[in-house]
């Protein structure tokens, strides 16, 4: 099987934008054509936009696997709830797609917000580590303005909260959209939701160990690998198209649930079905990296990961808690994975969300994950869009001038 997409050139994903970089040259002057694919639209937004979805994502500031058409549609099919609302934004000069905002709306039934309608990103919250609007660079302000204009218009359904979770540090959404929202009288909260530790990868594994891992942890990594190799027949492998994927995912789930009570509680039957579905889709896409470490033929550790746009994404893991645990199979497998990612040319080893201590033992540093809550202080019930609303793409007249 081929495992080399990390060798493909791309924009460095570690380039962090300067604060306040909120307006591109076109966004200040051009209105956008907006098309809304709602629950009563004649066309399915996912289907209509499929050919343009991933190419637009590649033009955005943060090309995330969790925003690909494959991930978004699988998440919606397996975990989606409420009403799907996908907004598409085009340059009226030539019809070029410059923005997609995939949302869903739910009615809150319990708690202090009971009776309210909330909008969320498709994919929000816990199983999609990075989410955002999908916008071509320098069109952000125009898309934010058109989105907010729609939310304030009779075209939009009643809503009380727009919850924009899991925004990557690179995103302009938490920097620029709040200014425009407050200018429209909306109430906005912006805060850091979590961290996603990552390792910027050098060209050579020895360079990584010497320069990015402290002496004590470097010794521990090497000692654990030597011990496992001394006492066992060790095999490290990725699941490929030739393997029984369903069974391999079932083995992953068994080790994952064995690892801790929290992991066992997380891996509900619904989540098990999601992992099977996303594994199939990511295998078809060529991004799945389901890895196992075997000791004397027995599966001792596993990592459910992805490789996309020169990033290696560590999504979930599990390890044997019986007799094999004394060989620290999780650490051993993780070290092999880092060696692999460097060898194939990845630039980032991304542990994704969570500040678990072991991530820092391997030399990771924090990457911010942000959240924006936009509250509508005066929600008004409004009629649903006509069934053919998705066929209309008239310019909205909105510009990004409020976020200059």
The predicted model scores a pTM of: 0.90
Interatomic CA distance for residues 391 and 183, integer angstroms:
30
| One domain for residues 114 and 213 | no
CATH of the domain at 85: 3.40.630
pLDDT digits (tens, 9 = 90+) for 54-90: 999 999 999 999 999 999 999 999 999 999 999 999 9
| One domain for residues 345 and 375 | no
Interatomic CA distance for residues 76 and 49, integer angstroms:
15
| One domain for residues 188 and 279 | no
The dihedral sign for the CA sequence 66, 14, 196, 214: positive
How many domains is the chain partitioned into structurally? 2
Q: Strands, DSSP E only, in 38-116?
A: 83-90, 97-107
| One domain for residues 281 and 170 | no
pLDDT digits (tens, 9 = 90+) for 340-395: 999 999 999 999 999 999 999 999 999 999 999 999 998 877 555 444 445 444 45
Interatomic CA distance for residues 241 and 223, integer angstroms:
34
Cβ–Cβ < 8 Å for 372, 167: yes
Q: Cβ of 385: how many Cβ atoms within 10 Å?
A: 20
| One domain for residues 157 and 18 | yes
- Which range of residues forms the domain containing residue 273? 198-361
| One domain for residues 217 and 174 | no
The residues of the chain scoring below 50 in pLDDT are 1-2, 7-20, 25-27, 29, 385-389, 391-394, 396-404
| One domain for residues 285 and 266 | yes
Instruction: State phi, psi for 230 to the nearest 5 degrees.
Output: -70, -40
The DSSP 8-state label assigned to residue 50 in this structure reads: H
| One domain for residues 139 and 22 | yes
| One domain for residues 49 and 184 | yes
Interatomic CA distance for residues 313 and 168, integer angstroms:
14
Cβ–Cβ < 8 Å for 63, 13: yes
| One domain for residues 232 and 324 | yes
| One domain for residues 163 and 290 | no
| One domain for residues 146 and 123 | yes
Interatomic CA distance for residues 292 and 235, integer angstroms:
8
């Amino acid at each position: 099987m081929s495992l080399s997409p990390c060798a493909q050139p791309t924009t460095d994903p570690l380039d962090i934008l300067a604060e306040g970089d909120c307006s591109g040259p076109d966004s200040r002057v051009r209105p956008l054509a907006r098309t809304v694919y709602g629950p009563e639209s004649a066309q399915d937004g996912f289907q209509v936009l499929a050919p343009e979805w991933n190419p637009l994502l590649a033009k955005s500031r943060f090309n995330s696997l969790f925003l690909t058409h494959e991930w978004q549609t699988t998440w919606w099919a397996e975990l989606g709830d409420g009403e799907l609302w996908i907004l598409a934004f085009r340059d009226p000069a030539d019809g070029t797609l410059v923005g997609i905002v995939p949302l869903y709306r739910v009615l809150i039934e319990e708690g202090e917000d009971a009776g309210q309608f909330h909008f969320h990103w498709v994919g929000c919250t816990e199983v999609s580590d990075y989410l955002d609007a999908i916008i071509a660079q320098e069109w952000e302000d125009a898309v934010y303005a058109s989105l907010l204009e729609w939310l304030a218009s009779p075209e939009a359904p009643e809503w009380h909260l727009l919850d924009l979770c899991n925004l990557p540090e690179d995103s302009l959404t938490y920097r620029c959209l709040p200014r425009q929202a407050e200018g429209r009288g909306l109430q906005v909260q912006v805060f850091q939701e979590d961290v996603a530790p990552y390792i910027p990868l050098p060209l050579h594994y020895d360079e990584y160990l010497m320069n990015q891992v402290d002496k004590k942890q470097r010794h521990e990594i090497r000692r654990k690998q030597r011990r496992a190799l001394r006492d066992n027949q060790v095999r490290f492998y990725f699941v490929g198209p030739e393997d029984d994927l369903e069974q391999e995912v079932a083995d992953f789930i068994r080790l994952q649930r064995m690892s801790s009570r929290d992991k066992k509680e997380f891996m509900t039957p619904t989540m098990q079905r999601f992992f099977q579905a996303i594994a199939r889709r990511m295998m078809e896409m060529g991004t799945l990296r389901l890895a196992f470490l075997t000791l004397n033929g027995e599966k001792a550790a596993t990592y459910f990961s992805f490789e996309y746009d020169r990033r290696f994404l560590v999504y979930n893991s599990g390890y044997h808690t019986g007799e094999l645990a004394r060989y620290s199979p999780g650490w051993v497998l993780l070290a092999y994975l880092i060696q692999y990612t460097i060898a194939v040319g990845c630039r980032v080893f991304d542990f994704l969300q969570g500040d678990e201590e072991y991530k820092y033992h391997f030399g990771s540093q924090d990457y911010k994950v942000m959240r924006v809550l936009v509250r509508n202080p005066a929600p008004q019930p409004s009629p649903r869009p006509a069934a053919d609303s998705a066929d209309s793409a008239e310019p909205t007249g909105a510009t990004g001038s409020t976020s200059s």
